[in-house]
Structure 1
Amino acid sequence: MSALRCALIETSEEEAYVAVAKYIAELRDGQQSTFTDECEQLYAAEQHEKLLDKFMSALDAVFAAASSDADLECCLNMMCHLVPRIPLPAATAAAQRLAAALAASTDSRPDKRLLALVTLYNAAYDAPTKAAVLLQALGYAKAAGLSDTMLPVIRAHADSWPTELGLDAAGERRLFTACADALEGCTRKPRTAAREGVRLLSKCLVTYEDAPAAELPTAVPAAAHVVAEFVRSPDVFQFDLATNPAVAQLSSVKEHAPLHRLLSIFLKGSVQDYQAFVATADGTAALAAAGISGEEALAKMRLLAFMGLAHGATEVTFGQIQAALDLSAEEVEGAVVQAIGKRIAEARIDQLRGVVAVSKCAPRTFGPQHWLELQTTLAGWKEAAIMAQQAVAEAGGSAPARSGPSAAPAPAAVRA
């Protein structure tokens, strides 16, 4: 195998941009042209915005004719790094134009276009520009079928983006909604993507807690999506947004009122309430809106009813479970085992006594009452810790501390 030789050649930044101009001219015209001279003059005059526009005018030709991935990436990188050379506020508009041009096609080298959008995000130096490019990249990822590429990025950075970008409540909502929308296109880990999407939409709904009533209608799609996802999920049994104004308003929206009624039954009602509701036209509409069958919804309702029965209790009888879950006597133990398997509760079945000893069971929804209970519990722990600390201090004051060999009594003197 022949040895590889590497030569380092010192070049100026100007030479790099001239080389890009020559490369684009050859791809576009097949030869050197006035395009190169014009680009060189613009760079020399520090007309970076016009130079970027000049490069962008040939962007389609670059994507269509570039045969080398390395050359294409280099060309796109140089375009992206022209943006921070443009003074504000023109830089924001220039970045948006470049982002729009990169996202204009999903047929021509979509992976390189998305990579360039990420590069542009990193190259931008002001928060508004970064935010605009990020939204463009998220939308493009879904449109180009590259959502799987964005999943790890969103999971790692979505929570910190609002602070880093200085977003207000409206900007935070747009970002979280765009992230959730992008994740809907994931195919490799759809369940992970769905959970992350619902989590981000839930964070979006939290921003409406103190919002003016006039802003609430904009939250309807996100609220309906989060509620539907909770209803149809076989593994999620706690919903903490029941009192959220964005969710509560669904009860007065004709299209989503049946779904909200189903949610209310899941969180506060009984199996009998559920059975009566699904026998109506609204119940049928609610199941369809949630994308869940009646059998699947009934199975989840029974688990939720067990939560309502077991939360706060130390023991629950087989008879109580049978009545609450509308089961036969033979089905009770299986239902309890399923609840334990779903980690709804920590419990032990006592077959001889016909009871279930409950160690811990979460509530169906975590509201203001539960926050007060938690506050009381924490206050109790704090008081107990203070008392223990005082007891230790008092014990230490009445008895001298002993440690090491010096604490041992000295031996008596030996007399001859």
Structure 2
Amino acid sequence: MTYVNTVFTDGPLEVQVLEFASYISKLKGEPEDAGPFIKETNALLKENKLEQVFQTFVAATSILLDAPEKEFEAIYNLLIAILKSASPETYPALINNSIKALVHDEHDKAIQKLKVLQNLYNTLEYSSPLRYDVFVAILDIATKNDEIETILPQLPRLDTWVKEWSISTEQVRELYLTVSNKLKEAGEIKRSHDFLLKYLATYTSSDDLSVAKSAASRAVIEAIQLPEILSFEDLLELDTIQALKNEEVFELLKVFLSGNLKEYKQFVDTNPGAVEKLGLSNEDNTRKIRLLTLASLASEHVASEITYQTIAKALEIEEDEVEMWTIDVIRAHLIEAKVNQVRKTILVNRSTYRTFTMNQWQQLSDKLDGWKQSLADILQVIANAKLIAQHSNVNANVASSSAVVVIEGTGGQEEES
């Protein structure tokens, strides 16, 4: 069934209502201008029962999926324009019901649905809580139809939007967790993990943390799995993560936070099968903990050298593998160092601390005191040099003055030489 050159025009509400009713009637295959749907609409209009008209239209929304693609966006926009006239009390329910009917079959007319939902989103006030519902629908359709790229550029603005929408904490949590799950389905693992952390951060120690236990465990596992995550301190500070204490996943997190290869192997021996049960790879874990072990070793030798032998022992590798691991740690931006193949040493210029505890603060304080004393010594040397230079200038001036000699000539005249 096709309709050609259908035009939807602006006009008074009654004109728009009759135009929409006529289109729905056509989609239903009813007689033109005489079908039951049009008759019902006209009867409700005569009785001034607009709210019932709106409900009737929303109930018929699903049939819009039968509209030709080139008309789909226009007819749905017309519906949005009509529903704007509903009372503030019924408008939210009408919009939500129209969304549900529209996205019932997520795989039909995905591009057209995304367009009309984006139009709907833009017609709503920036502070409208309904934007939350529309965004969730857009996210759902986009991820199920491999159109996730259409919303990725908007995700950085989500934190601002949830404040503008004035939605509840529970809705914020649901949104962040939904976004995380949808991104994971679409293969956007790192972005998914970031939103999972946003979800976990909405909980405080006064909340029921047990409801987020599964998500917290997932966050730890993903952090260990993702090659680009090499810092775990912020993760450990979350109340939802702290609630995992006494569990194997929490103990493993502490190893990756500040432990070394030896401690990781102790964990594996003490908790047989735990790594596999958590869905992790022992091989990948071992690689990451070696990188972190070398980073910790380097932080103890900043501005000094580490021998190949020391590194090989800490990482439990052969000495001829040391350079490869050093390059990997440098590429991960954990350290800055130079390899001396002749001396078989690594000169560490900079290293990133995995945790910054009181010990690190004390080391930093000691270094600052050392620099302060060095600067004071340099300033004293400069001051002494200035005094020496001033004395030298004075002596030079005195010497120049004494060079004027008076000689009495035979003729009684004075000559200067």
Counterparts of 1:226 and 1:104 in 2: how far apart (Å)? Answer: 31
SS in 2 for 1:182: helix
Shift of the 55–366 alpha-carbon distance from structure 1 to 2, 3 Å rule, reads: farther
TM-score, with normalisation over the residues of structure 1? 0.75
Question: Within 5 A, what are the aligned runs for 1:87-166?
Answer: 87-125=87-125, 127-142=128-143, 144-146=144-146, 148-166=148-166
Paired amino acid for 1:216: L
Counterparts of 1:329 and 1:275 in 2: how far apart (Å)? Answer: 20
Paired amino acid for 2:323: E
What is the Cα deviation at residue 366 of structure 1? Answer: 6.2
Counterparts of 1:200 and 1:207 in 2: how far apart (Å)? Answer: 11
Paired amino acid for 1:306: L
Tell whether the 8 Å contact from 1:243 to 1:367 is kept in structure 2 after alignment: no
Partner of 2:384: none
Question: Within 5 A, what are the aligned runs for 1:297-312?
Answer: 297-311=285-299
Partner of 1:361: 351
SS in 2 for 1:348: strand
TM-score, with normalisation over the residues of structure 2? 0.75
Shift of the 313–86 alpha-carbon distance from structure 1 to 2, 3 Å rule, reads: farther
Shift of the 62–9 alpha-carbon distance from structure 1 to 2, 3 Å rule, reads: closer
Partner of 2:341: 351
Partner of 1:54: 56
Structure 1 unaligned runs (5+)? Answer: 1-5, 379-383, 385-416
Counterparts of 2:267 and 2:8 in 1: how far apart (Å)? Answer: 77
Match of 1:241 among 222, 235, 241: 235
Shift of the 58–95 alpha-carbon distance from structure 1 to 2, 3 Å rule, reads: closer
SS in 1 for 2:346: strand
Question: Within 5 A, what are the aligned runs for 1:244-323?
Answer: 244-252=238-246, 257-280=247-270, 282-289=271-278, 291-311=279-299, 313-314=301-302, 315-318=304-307, 319-323=309-313
SS in 1 for 2:348: strand
Q: Which structure: larger Rg? A: 2
CA offsets 1:115-173 (integer angstroms, 9 cap, x no match): 3333333333352222233234334444x334524542543432322222124443322
What is the Cα deviation at residue 45 of structure 1? Answer: 7.1
Partner of 1:408: none
Total equivalences in the alignment: 357
CA offsets 1:296-321 (integer angstroms, 9 cap, x no match): 11111100111222236413412332
What is the Cα deviation at residue 60 of structure 1? Answer: 3.0
Tell whether the 8 Å contact from 2:216 to 2:240 is kept in structure 1 after alignment: yes
Are residues 1:207 and 2:202 paired? yes
- Runs (4+) of structure 1 exceeding 4 A deviation are 8-11, 40-48, 365-378
Shift of the 47–368 alpha-carbon distance from structure 1 to 2, 3 Å rule, reads: farther
Partner of 2:11: 12
Counterparts of 2:8 and 2:142 in 1: how far apart (Å)? Answer: 37
Partner of 1:30: 30
Identical residues among aligned pairs (%):
24
Tell whether the 8 Å contact from 1:307 to 1:344 is kept in structure 2 after alignment: yes
Tell whether the 8 Å contact from 2:8 to 2:75 is kept in structure 1 after alignment: no
Counterparts of 2:358 and 2:151 in 1: how far apart (Å)? Answer: 34
Tell whether the 8 Å contact from 1:241 to 1:247 is kept in structure 2 after alignment: yes
